[in-house]
Amino acid sequence: MIILGVDPGLTRCGVGVIEAGAYRRLSFIHVDVVRSDPKSPQDRRLLTIYDGLAAKLDEFAPDVVSIERVFAQENRNTVLGTAQAAGMAMLAAAQRNIPVALHTPTESKMAITGNGKAEKIQMERMVARILNLNTLPKPADAADALAIAICHALRPAGAIQGGEREEHLTAAQRQWAKAAQKASRGRTQGRAM
3-state secondary structure (DSSP) of residue 180:
helix
How far is the C-alpha of 2 from the C-alpha of 129, rounded, in Å?
A: 19
124 a known binding residue? no
68 a known binding residue? yes
How far is the C-alpha of 113 from the C-alpha of 132, rounded, in Å?
A: 15
- Which residues are known to be catalytic? 7, 68, 141
Q: Which residues have C-beta within 8 Å of that of residue 3, sequence separation ≥ 6?
A: 17, 18, 19, 20, 62, 63, 64, 65, 66, 149, 152, 153
Q: Angle formed by the axes of helices 76-95 and 42-60, to 10°?
A: 40
Write down the number of H helices and E strands in the chain.
6, 5
43 a known binding residue? no
If you ran DSSP here, which 8-state letter would residue 154 be given?
A: T
How far is the C-alpha of 17 from the C-alpha of 10, rounded, in Å?
A: 19
Q: Which residues have C-beta within 8 Å of that of residue 166, sequence separation ≥ 6?
A: 160, 174
Annotated binding site: 7, 68, 141
Annotated binding site for Mg(2+): 7, 68, 141
